[in-house]
Amino acid sequence: HHLDKDTTRDEEGEEKKIIKTKKSTLQTEYEVLMSSVDQHSSEVKVFIPEVVEKCAEDKTKNEYRCLCPHAGQFMCNVIKLMFEIEGEGEVLYRIVSWDSCPLDGLDQKEPAGPLYSINCHKGLIKYLHLPHCETRTDGEGLTVAHVTGGNVEIIKPQTITNTHVVIDVQGFSLFGLLRARLFKAHPIEAQVLLFYKELNGKNSNVSKLHMHLLPGNVPAEEVQKKNECKTYIETSATCELTPGNKYWPFTKNTDHEITIQPECEKFRRDYSTNYHPTFEVFFYTKVNKITLGLLDEREEEVWSRLVFLKDTEAASPKLDTT
């Protein structure tokens, strides 16, 4: 996309670049009424956020900006956060590491979503909607951690919809979903993200594919920031996986020499911001396409796709910040 850059200054006088995206034909798809997404309000405005460039060398420090022109419900189409604001407002937000959240004394709870840094610079947010990936509609054991000044406040949800956990907001800082460990693990909405890279050097025919098994409320755009040197392979990524269960990657209908490591791995609710691959697939000959999948502990297919590796542009659901 073509980008326009302006500059603003934050409260400390630091100059920041504001990267604005041009509307694409896809925006029409996003800017629709989303009453089915959240039952807390009849209308949702889905928006493409601006990106505030904080550090040119490290895009993971960039912030998203939502400019709300009026009262209503606004959902970011990148990370699916939703703000219910009482009037015109401006919200800056980004995903940060859970390492910055002291969970001492909360051993019976674990992260159930990314940790968000949220600041409302103008206007008043009445309700905050955090995306979850639970398949059980009762939202069993879900709470929200609100971190301010090194202290953690546990907030009980006001409402849990099929897609979001809704809380009444009194102040801002860090917010993240927590889940009680005592409840039995059950399948959650998950995703398989693929990143491809051809290896240069003597072994010019060698290439590799990274498979990331992640909870469904981890934004693909955030994972792409860590994989800019690889090609993101766009495919239907969604599936249901059970945290704590083992999964085996497999390929089929191929005569190519292939190595997959490790052979199996447990699926975890991984909300770190490192986004290490779960599996690596190495190809030792030129490969144009391959059928790739996952088996569960009962040897049943839980995800399987035909993947094209050659002549594939770096397809992306994210904002173009180059």
- Count of the separate structural domains present in the chain: 2
State what percent of residues in the chain have pLDDT above 70: 79
Categorize the per-residue pLDDT at 172 as very low, low, confident or very high, splitting at 50, 70 and 90.
confident
Give yes or no for residue 315 having a pLDDT over 70. no
Query: How many other C-beta atoms lie within 10 A of the C-beta of residue 8?
Result: 11
Q: What is the CA radius of gyration of the chain?
A: 21
130 within a domain of the structure (yes/no): yes
Residue 18 belongs to some domain of the structure: yes
User: Residue 98's domain spans which residues?
Assistant: 3-180
29 and 176 together in one domain: yes
**Mean pLDDT across the chain:** 82
- The count of other CB atoms within 10 Å of the CB of residue 298 is 7
Q: What is the pLDDT of residues 186-234, one digit of tens each?
A: 999 999 999 999 987 665 789 999 999 999 999 999 999 999 899 999 9
Task: Name residues whose C-beta falls within 8 Å of residue 175's C-beta, 6 or more positions apart in sequence.
Answer: 115, 116, 118, 128, 130, 144, 145, 146, 147, 167
CA dist 312 and 293 (Å) reads 19
**8 and 106 fall within a common domain:** yes
pTM for this one? 0.81
Angle, alpha carbons 317-122-145 (nearest 5°): 65
Say what the pLDDT of residue 311 is. Answer: 62
Q: Is residue 317 part of a domain?
A: no
- CATH number of the domain where residue 257 is located: 2.60.40.2660
Same domain for 102 and 33, yes or no, is: yes
For the chain, the distance separating the N- and C-terminal CA atoms, rounded to the nearest angstrom, is 9
- Four-CA torsion 175, 180, 186, 187, nearest 10 degrees: 10
**Which residue, 150, 180, 210, sits at the end of a domain?**
180
Which pLDDT tens digit goes with each residue over 242-287? 999 999 999 986 778 899 999 999 999 999 999 999 999 999 988 8
- Greater model confidence, 313 or 123: 123
Q: Is residue 147 domain-shared with residue 192, that is, in the same domain? A: no
Tell whether 281 is covered by a domain.
yes
151 and 221 fall within a common domain: no
pLDDT attached to residue 140: 73
Please say whether the beta carbons of 113 and 131 come within 8 A: yes
Contact between 164 and 177 under an 8 Å Cβ cutoff? The reply is no
pLDDT in tens, 58-78: 666 789 999 988 899 999 999
Last residue of a domain, one of 154, 180, 206: 180
Is the distance from CB of 274 to CB of 214 less than 8 angstroms? no
Identify the CATH number of the domain in which residue 24 sits. Answer: 2.60.220
